[in-house]
Amino acid sequence: MATKLTAEKKEIIGNLIEAYDIKTTKDIQEALKDLLGGTIQEMLESELEDQIGHERYESTEEAKTNYRNGHKTKQLKTSMGAMEIEVPQDRNSEFEPIIVPKYKRDVSEIEEKIINMYARGQSTREISEQIEDIYGFEASAELVSRVTDRIVPEIEEWRQRRLAEVYPIIFIDCIMFSVRKEKTVQKMAAYIVMGVSGDGMKEVLSIEIGETESSRYWLGVLNGLKGRGVRDIMVICADGLTGIKEAIEAAYPNTEYQHCIVHMVRNTLRHVSDKDKKAYAGDLKGIYQAADEEGGLKAMKEAQAKWEAKYPRSMNRWEERWAEICPIFKYSAEVRKALYTTNAIESLNSQYRRINSKRGVFPGEDSLMKAMYLTTVQITKKWTNKVRDWGKVYGEMSILFPGRLS
């Protein structure tokens, strides 16, 4: 069965058709062959830089002992037919290519693996292991990093791509990472903006790294969405991010800010002993599942009175944030679940935390962004189903926000 094309893939195909003036199947074959040859060529250039220890025109002691010395033409046999590449040479003839080893002219058997390494968004270590599996010897982390840096333009395209005009719901969440910056390791925040479109499909809209929270910062993020085509949002659901409420009022004045219920519960239970968590969580559920705001407020006061002596001030955030919590009470149970059951973004975050645990410290913001993008591409491929009960959610939001979802 044919794979359903996303808007991004359609745009890439359109660009290919225009760039290569594709009119026949033979034109397609030639275009793909050219792209494969370009990929191999770029990887060879990165390999040479890695092995001689410096970039082109760089003036260092290493550059004086060995340096680039032109190119040598080589014919390759591939599954797309014969192609010609230019293998870079070094002055001392010490360059030992990995992607196309000396005397090797048939690379057709590794094409699929090369494509898969890019498509699956693997980590530097995983790509290094695959290269070792293919060629029988280890590739340095520096080499793999340089090769994977070739996707940076792809990341920028993704970050600037056009978005839908209307999103009924947008979630904003945050994960902390350790990043090396100016010879020190710093904790940096990565903010994930995920939207639910009018047809109920989930999509990661943007990833923002490293800025200090403020209304000015969040206004920049929201204006960035505007610049990419988002003209209206019904509800933005987030934790108590500094300045987010003021930014929403400025950028999208008709948008409702809903404080994330999952974060409220999690923060409340953070310092509660294990033996009390189940009972306390049950009392909190009585708040956000109440029939209306009056019932929710009553349940909050009861929970506060019950637990205040044992866990002083644990319910204070509910009282302080009540104006941002209470919008949820105008929705039915199905719509409330769509707003506070953040399984999709939690699943995404678990994958981000996995790369965090594997790598420990990222060498820079670019490295972190690259890893997060590749992980995002990999996991969002599985987002093929609509949000549960989307028909009910859409119908109810159409009534509450008349004329804005079409």
Between these two residues, 224 and 210, which has the higher pLDDT value?
224
Over range 24-46, report the average pLDDT: 72
pLDDT over 70, % of the chain: 74
- Per-residue pLDDT, 115: 38
The closest of 258, 206, 128 to 369, measured between CA atoms, is 206
Q: Rounded to 5, what percent of the chain is helix, strand, coil? A: 55, 20, 30
Q: Which residues of 148-172 are buried (b: 16+ CB within 10 A; e: fewer)?
A: beebeebbeebeeeebbebbbbbbb
Mean pLDDT of the chain: 79
84 C-beta neighbours (distance < 10 Å), count: 9
The pLDDT confidence band at residue 53, using thresholds 50, 70 and 90, is low
In this structure, of 60-74, 203-217, 258-272, 363-377, the range with the lowest mean pLDDT score is 60-74
**Residue 73, H or E segment:** strand 68-78
CA distance 123 to 129: 10
Averaged pLDDT, 154-171: 93
DSSP per residue, 88-137: EEETTS----SSS-TT--B-GGGHHHHHHHHHTT--HHHHHHHHHHHHSS
Q: What is the mean pLDDT of residues 200-220?
A: 87
Residue spans per domain, the chain: 7-156, 166-400
Distance between CA atoms of 324 and 255, rounded to whole angstroms?
12
| DSSP code for 164 | -
354: Cβ contacts below 8 Å, ≥ 6 apart: none
Residue 133 has pLDDT above 80, yes or no: no
Residue 86 confidence (pLDDT): 77
Task: Assess contact for 387 and 338: CB atoms under 8 A.
Answer: yes
User: CA–CA separation, 194 vs 191, rounded Å?
Assistant: 10
Higher-confidence position of 12 and 58: 12
Nearest to 376 by CA among 346, 348, 353: 348
Predicted TM-score (pTM) of the model is: 0.67
Residues 6+ apart with CB under 8 A from 291: none
Pairing of strands 256-259, 361-362: unpaired
CA distances from 187 to 173, 209, 365 (A): 16, 11, 11
* pLDDT value of position 78: 60
Structure tokens given for 322: 């009540």
pLDDT, position 79? 57
Q: Which amino acid is at 39?
A: T
Does 85 or 402 have the greater pLDDT score? Answer: 402
